[in-house]
Amino acid sequence: MSSTSAPLFNWLDHRAAGVLLHPTSFPGPYGIGTLDAHAGRFLEFLSHAGLRYWQVCPLGATGYGNSPYQCFSAFAGNPYLIDPEPLLAAGLLQPSELAKLATLPADRVDFGGVWKLKWPVLLAAAERYQRKPVALPYGDFARFCAAQAHWLDDYAFFLALKDHHAGRPWWEWPAELRNFETATKSPLRRTLASTIFAHQFLQYLFFGQWHQLRARAAKLGIQIVGDVPIFVALDSADVWANPDLFLLDRSTRRPTVVAGVPPDYFSADGQLWGNPLYDWPAHQRTGFSWWRRRMAATFDVCDIVRIDHFRGFESYWAVPAGSPNARHGRWEQGPGLEFFAAMRDAFPQAKIIAEDLGVLTPAVMALREATGLPGMAIYQFAFGGDARNIYLPHNHTQNSVLYPGTHDNDTTRGWFAGTDEKTRDHVRRYLRVAGNEISWDFIRASYSSPCRLAIFALQDLLDLDSSARFNTPGLPDGNWEWRYRPEQLDTLDSKTAPYLRELGQLYGR
C-alpha cells in the first residue's frame, strides 16, 4: 500500500471521554469484583458524568501471577467475575456457601483466598446444575456450547486435564496428553466428563452475565473498550491445541524463541516476557483464521478493541528460549499491513486502538498511519524533557487516545510525588498549576487536549496515591489487587459527576 492510499480504518471521528477500570476492582462482599449490582452502579456513574467509554483489561481466566495478560485461553472469560447471587436465587447455591466467601477481604483481591473459597462454590453450582438443570436467564446452555465449540471444547478439556494433574503446566503432563491429537483420544476425556462440563457451565454463566451488563451499558450510551494482548500464555489451551501456529520444537513442543523487548534506557536487560511467538507464515496460509476467530470473540464482548504491543505486528524481538534475560535476541518481521487488511476485510466496521507505546521506529509509525488506527498518548511520559516530547499536549494529534496513566502506571498523584523535582517543575510551568491537585490538573488538561478520546483511571478520579496502583510491571507479587469502596463511587457520583459533565460540555466531549 502506498503512502497516499486511504487508511484501512477511520473510526475515531468524535470527541469523548471514559474511565479505565477492570471488573475485579468492583466492590462487593465476595472477595473480588463481580458482574453484579455494583457493576451496574458504576455504569450509572459513567452516564451521570457524561463519560461514554468504559475500558477494561483482558477478561480471560488468569493463571499464575493473576495477570489478565497471561490467560489460560484467548477466548474464555474469567469465572471469578461470576456473580453468585443469581445462582443462590436459582437454588444452585446455599446461603452458607456464600457466607464463606464473605470472609474474604473487602478492600483488595486476595487471589489465593478467592481460589481456595470461590472455586469450590462455583464447581458445586455446576455439579448441581448437571444433576438437575434449572432455568437461568442466560439462554440455552446446549446452544451456547454448540456456538462456542470451536474454542470451548478444547479449553474445558485443557482445564480438566490441568485439574487432574494438580495444576501443572501441559508440558509436564504425560507424553500422550502433551500431544493434543492423542489427548483427544484418551480415555481420560470420558473419565473427566463432569469436570469438562463444569468448565463449560462456568463459561456459560460468565458470558451470560457479561452480555446482560453489556446490554445495560449500551442502553446508557456507553461503549466498552476491550483489550487483546498480542501474545498468548504458553500454558494455555491456545498453544496446547494449536502447536502448529507457534514457533515450537516439533518433538518437545516447547518454544524455540520467546517474546520480549530489547534493552533500552529503562532496562539494561530488556524485558523477557516468555510468551511463545507466532509462526506468522502458518497464520498467513490460513488467512489468519485463528486471529479472525479471536477478534470475533472479542467484538462479541466489547465495542472497541485495544491491541496490546502494536509494534510487534511490524517486527518483534525474538529471544532464544532459555535465555536469562532479553539482551540477546533478534528482530523478526511481523505480518504487517497484511494482517490488518485481513481484519478489515473480516470486520469492516471494526473499532481498534493501537497500543503503540515504547520505542517507535519509522516503520512502526508508517504501519500505524497506513492502518489509520488511533495510537496512545500518556501524560506521565510527557514531562522532564524538552518541547519535542510527543506526549506533550502541543504535540498531540486528533487520532489518538490520551491517558494520564494506564493500568501499568502509578496513579498520577503517586507518580508526581515520586518523580524528580525537575519533572515536577516542568509540569507546573507547562500546565501553569501549583501541582497540589495534580490528578485533576491532568484530567482537566486531558479534556482540553486535541486527542479525540481521553480515558482516566478511576484511581485518578478518586485522587488516590501509590497504594492504589493496579500493576507494577516486573513486580511478581501484589498486582491486580486494588478495589474501591462503594462510598467512594457514591461521592464521585454526587459531587464530581456534574463537574465532569461540565468539562465534557466545555471541551466537546
Q: Of these residues, 303, 308, 338, 465, which one is catalytic?
A: 308
The DSSP string of 42-95 is HHHHHHHTT--EEE----SPB-TT--TTSBS-SS---GGG--SHHHHHTTSS-H
Catalytic residue among 355, 356, 410, 481: 355
CA 328 to chain centre: 29
Q: Are the beta carbons of 224 and 189 closer than 8 angstroms?
A: no
Counting Cβ atoms within 10 Å, is residue 279 exposed (0-12), middle (13-18) or buried (19+)?
middle
**Would you state the cell numbers that stand for residue 325, as one nine-digit string?**
534475560
Catalytic residue among 153, 300, 332, 408: 408
The residue type of 477 is D
H helices, E strands: number in the chain: 21, 12
Q: What is the DSSP string of 312-334?
A: GGTEEEEEETT-SSSSS-EEEE-
Helix (H, G, I), strand (E, B) or coil at 402: strand
The identity of residue 324, as a single letter, is P
What is the spatial distance between Cα 464 and Cα 468, in angstroms, rounded to a whole number? 6
CA distance 379 to 445: 9
Pair 407, 470: CB distance under 8 Å: yes
Q: CB–CB of 443/414 below 8 Å?
A: no
| Position 482, amino acid | W
> What's the alpha-carbon Rg for the chain, to the nearest Å?
23
Q: How far apart are the C-alpha atoms of 190 and 171, rounded to whole Å? A: 21
Cα gap 310→48, rounded to integer Å: 33
Place of cell 457520583: 493
Phi-psi region of 364 (alpha: psi -120 to 50; beta: other; left: phi over 0): alpha
Is-catalytic flag, 355?
Answer: yes
408 is catalytic: yes
Residue 238: active-site member: no
Q: Please measure the distance between the N-terminal and C-terminal CA atoms of the chain and give it in whole angstroms.
A: 34
| CA 12 to mean position of chain CA atoms | 21
d(CA 432, CA 427): 8
* Residue whose C-alpha is closest to residue 68's, from 338, 471, 426, 501: 471
**Cell representation of residue 134:** 434449572
Q: Which grid cell sits at 184?
A: 483427544
**Hey, what amino acid is at 367?**
L
Side chain identity at 236, as an amino acid letter?
A: S
* Active site residue ranges: 308, 355, 408
